[in-house]
Structure 1
Amino acid sequence: MSTYKHGIATKSSGAVGITQSKTTYSAQVIIGTLPINTLKNPKDAVNSIILLENSEDMDNLVGKTNEIEKYTAMQGVYASLKVHKVAPVVVINVLDPDNSQHVQAVVGKEYDVVNKMVVIEDTGVLLDKVVVSENETTYKADDDYVASINSEGYLVIALTNDGAASSLQKLNISYVKLNPDGVTAEDIIGGIDEKGVRSGIELLDEVFINTGVIPAIVTAPVFSKQKEVAAALEAKVRLIGSLHNAKAYVDIDSSESGAVSVFNVAKVKEENVPQSELIDACWPMVNKNGNVLAFSSFAAALAQAVAAENGDIPDGIDNRELLVDGVCTEDGTSVKVIQGDANSYLNANGIITAIRLPEWKAWGNNTAMYPASKDPTKRWSKCVMMLNYLQNRFKTEYLSKVGRNAKVKFIKGIVDEYNASLNALAPDYLAGGEIIFDTAKNSPSSMLEGHYIFSTRYADYTPAEYIENDFVYDAQILTDTMEGGDE
């Protein structure tokens, strides 16, 4: 029977979040660990591709926690969706409850029941691994008690009114919780098993086919300070899924065993970071709202935010506002990086940092390839991103042409359409560009094989990294002024 409505009422549909800026060609993929114990089905979020299109997706798809530092992929999600407010973001979580190294068993302990409830101040608890007992009796979840996670991330055991444990004043409770510290570089790197199932970084190849998102920026926050992870990222971003070009932001170790001052960062970079134009190396960590977080997370989020503000066209992050409270080493010790030191010890060695001017700004244009190469398409981070953008756009937009008949009209159509795209980018984003179909590069034998080669010439702008104005004191100006003083 329908309810007859008469009177006054209200309802709440929840908070409406701030809209994230969207990008198509500058989306991020973040690989690391998540607080999956708070999800309805934690195992569904293990080595799977999770697409976040707005901040409202976070709780349901990647979990929730007040311990952002503890979960490395959450650092990237937080930097992107909550701080710099950009989307989409794809997340790959490798923290696996079925991996004995990724969990920790907590032995049973007796707790007092207060108002039919026990609150255990521990986090990461897997609800399906909770055991509630008393003496020799083990109680049943949902029948005798309900286990949940509260807003602080703590385990809550609430006794049901009609359950077998309803009158008890003490309970013995044991459980299993996540151990993100048990995740290793090998887990992040992942692989392909004998059944063809991918994990870790190898899952990048499935991002586009599963989500339609172009994986242009890749991070493995905190873990990327390890040489093996940085090398795996560099190898993968060269060509993801046999289709897309990307770049990776990596962290340089700022722990006691790494670099705790500007003076030894270059040495640590040389030992651990691939000398590659596809890598932007970041040092040190950042502080945000009391959390010590990976610089790579915020650099990548800023890069995506810049592209979003720029009509989905990438640009450098140098001298752009980085929404952090400060920079610090891994143990949280504040680092004071002045501009001269940032230039001489970091930027000069292909390292991006942050300085206060007076807002916190990302500082640095060079990729990890510098100073080994001064080729603009390898040295300048924004030039690498622009080349990736042009290549990804061409391959994505004309992928549907593969397999079609290569008629003259077909060839001319590609040339005309892509030239129109290049012309639209000039002069604001490109100095110029042109695509041609050169018959000299397309022999009859090649065309009989179905191979058709187009050639594109382009030039984008290099960053104005140094602006100088030579001021000269000209005494003649003073003399001329004084001579005209009686007028």
Structure 2
Amino acid sequence: MAFFHGVKASEVPTSVVAPVATTAGLPVVFGTAPVHLTDDPTAYVNRPVICYSWAEAEAALGYSDDWDKYTLCEAMYSEFKLYAVKPIIFVNVLNPAVHKSSVSGAEKNLAADKTLTLEEPILLASLKVKASPEAEADAVLGTDYTAAYNDDGKLVITVLADGALASNTSIVLTYDKVDPTAVTANSVIGGADSNGNPTGLELIDSIYTLFAMVPGIVAAPGWSENPTVAAVMKAKCLNISELFRCICLTDVDTASVTSYSGVNTWKNNNNYTGTNQVVCWPCVKQGDMVFHMSTHIMGIIGVTDAANDDVPYQSPSNQTLQATGLCLKNGTEVNLSLPQANLLNSQGVMTGLNFSGGWKSWGNYTGAYPGTTDVKDSFICVRRMFDWQYQTFVLTYWQKVDQPLTPRLIKTIVDSEQIRLNGLVSRGFLLGADVKFLEEENPDTDLLAGIIRIHSYITPPVPAQEIEDILEYDVSNFKALFS
């Protein structure tokens, strides 16, 4: 050691590790978008995009009121317009290079003002305009005509007065147009493209590496009523990057199930019984718009989490639905009484109810109930708290991986985690918590391999879903007559 004469200081690592913040209910939504309305239709094809505003989402993905064809637009409208929740990650699986059809030599008549308005979802880069079927040369964009989508999502072609088409009363078009009907359940399920890149639901594992955020909710409105899609959603959410877990929101097919009495049979026959799966029925109506119930539950979870500092300890049940009614997908009105809604809840299905205080979400159980009654797997809010604990623990102590396995390391992890959980207890997010390093869970053979296990005991509160007032006539109060 070098000679030193005087006073000096040094430091050691802090013995308490600050927790890493996570977005407990970060929604990742899979589906189709009207990318033909964007400046670059290929920019977000099987490429997740995170959006913090309506304008950002519309610029990246486009927007259309035709939610049957463009399913991401339903979630976009609900999250940003109805529930004001952000951020949201969208994954568009509509590929304009694949899901398209071609039109060649279509002759169209111009309006009196030399414009032509088309409702077809035309890919602008593919559009070719000619003066007539016999013309050899194409008209020149910007010189002979302009082409742009208006605010209603319709393509407007305008013939320029000083261009080669100025005297025409009709023009001939050749173009490609996106075909959302060509997108199938397999497109949403995904796999790997020709270059080995993940597509569809396989992209769930990429979310953290792309955005440093862990998915909290996976949804696919318009697709999750397909049992095969729902099964893959359920499986992928149980093992995200081999580290994390989250819930998935799924819908019962209202085209097949038109009455509350048939929901349980459909749910069980199609295996909508996951411990991390929320099952919803029927659809939600807001004015003339029809939403999948899962879309509104996603918004409610976001609003509820935000009100609780992003701690997912509160149930999404009995929260305000931005709705004017319940219905089937075809718009047929559905009226549920309290006993009928409660029957659905007892079968592990979330629904809506207009009983007190307007339209509310109704139901606390995951799809696993009643087959599974373990509190951590049956209550949605408890399941989400456990999933959140997965995220927070892994991300907080990842920095300690490959550090020397010493008593100081173990004490740092145990003490830091105990302090963090004590804070949650003091704020009412947990009823109690205890963190231990147990000898029986850490045999010498594992310690020799560098493996340690920390045992965390946590007690998230369960929802008070049954409150009873027991009334009794107290005859002793007759004494007041003689006072």
TM-score by length of 2: 0.90
Aligned residue in 2 for 1:417: 416
**CA distance change for structure 1 residues 338 and 105 in 2, over 3 Å: closer, same or farther?**
farther
Deviation sequence 1:372-430 (CA, Å, 0-9, x none): 01110111111100110111111111122222222322221111111111001104010
Runs of at least 5 residues in structure 2 that lack an aligned partner in the other structure: 1-20
Deviation sequence 1:150-195 (CA, Å, 0-9, x none): 0001111122344322332222334433222322111110012464
Deviation sequence 1:100-124 (CA, Å, 0-9, x none): xx3344561322243332222x142
Counterpart AA for 2:319: R
Contact 1:80/1:87, CA 8 A, preserved across alignment: yes
What is the percentage of aligned positions where both structures have the same residue? 29
How far residue 234 of structure 1 moved from its aligned partner, in angstroms, is 0.6
Counterpart AA for 2:357: P
Contact 2:23/2:216, CA 8 A, preserved across alignment: no
Matched, 1:284 2:287: no
CA distance in 2, matches of 1:336, 1:141: 54
* Secondary structure of residue in 2 paired with 1:365: coil
Counterpart AA for 1:305: V
Aligned residue in 1 for 2:14: none
**CA distance change for structure 1 residues 55 and 406 in 2, over 3 Å: closer, same or farther?**
farther
| 163-172 vs 223-232, greater mean Cα deviation | 163-172
CA distance in 2, matches of 1:343, 1:71: 33
CA distance in 2, matches of 1:410, 1:53: 39
* Secondary structure of residue in 1 paired with 2:333: coil
Contact 2:337/2:353, CA 8 A, preserved across alignment: yes
Aligned residue in 1 for 2:294: 296
Contact 2:267/2:273, CA 8 A, preserved across alignment: no
CA distance in 1, matches of 2:162, 2:366: 64
Correspondence list, 1:232-247, <5 A:
232-247=232-247
Counterpart AA for 1:196: G
Contact 1:111/1:173, CA 8 A, preserved across alignment: no
Aligned residue in 1 for 2:473: 473
Deviation sequence 1:294-344 (CA, Å, 0-9, x none): 111111121122111110001211101111222110101111111110102
How far residue 236 of structure 1 moved from its aligned partner, in angstroms, is 0.2
| 407-416 vs 418-427, greater mean Cα deviation | 407-416
Deviation sequence 1:183-231 (CA, Å, 0-9, x none): 2111110012464310000000101100112101000112110110110
Contact 1:25/1:393, CA 8 A, preserved across alignment: no
Deviation sequence 1:1-24 (CA, Å, 0-9, x none): xxxxxxxxxxxxxxxxxxxxx972
**CA distance change for structure 1 residues 145 and 406 in 2, over 3 Å: closer, same or farther?**
farther
* Secondary structure of residue in 2 paired with 1:173: strand
| 327-336 vs 152-161, greater mean Cα deviation | 152-161
Counterpart AA for 1:429: F
* Secondary structure of residue in 2 paired with 1:157: strand
Correspondence list, 1:309-458, <5 A:
309-314=307-312, 315-344=314-343, 346-356=344-354, 357-427=356-426, 428-458=428-458
Contact 2:22/2:214, CA 8 A, preserved across alignment: no
The aligned length equals 456
How far residue 275 of structure 1 moved from its aligned partner, in angstroms, is 1.6
CA distance in 2, matches of 1:169, 1:45: 38
How far residue 476 of structure 1 moved from its aligned partner, in angstroms, is 5.1
Match of 2:125 among 118, 124, 128: 128
TM-score by length of 1: 0.89
Counterpart AA for 2:275: E
CA distance in 2, matches of 1:201, 1:179: 21
CA distance in 2, matches of 1:220, 1:436: 39
How far residue 41 of structure 1 moved from its aligned partner, in angstroms, is 0.9
CA RMSD of aligned residues (A): 1.9
How far residue 144 of structure 1 moved from its aligned partner, in angstroms, is 2.1
Contact 1:317/1:362, CA 8 A, preserved across alignment: yes
Matched, 1:157 2:157: yes
Deviation sequence 1:42-65 (CA, Å, 0-9, x none): 111111111112233122112122
CA distance in 2, matches of 1:150, 1:56: 16
Correspondence list, 1:139-158, <5 A:
139-158=139-158
| 78-87 vs 202-211, greater mean Cα deviation | 78-87
Contact 1:29/1:91, CA 8 A, preserved across alignment: yes
Counterpart AA for 2:250: V
Contact 2:22/2:213, CA 8 A, preserved across alignment: no
Aligned residue in 1 for 2:12: none
Deviation sequence 1:119-165 (CA, Å, 0-9, x none): 22x14222123232232223233332221110001111122344322
Matched, 1:185 2:182: no
Aligned residue in 2 for 1:213: 213
CA distance in 1, matches of 2:409, 2:145: 68
Contact 1:23/1:304, CA 8 A, preserved across alignment: no
Aligned residue in 2 for 1:264: 262
Aligned residue in 2 for 1:80: 79
Counterpart AA for 1:324: A
How far residue 360 of structure 1 moved from its aligned partner, in angstroms, is 1.1
* Secondary structure of residue in 2 paired with 1:132: strand
Contact 1:221/1:297, CA 8 A, preserved across alignment: yes
Aligned residue in 2 for 1:10: none
**CA distance change for structure 1 residues 244 and 23 in 2, over 3 Å: closer, same or farther?**
closer
Runs of at least 5 residues in structure 1 that lack an aligned partner in the other structure: 1-21
Contact 1:292/1:330, CA 8 A, preserved across alignment: yes
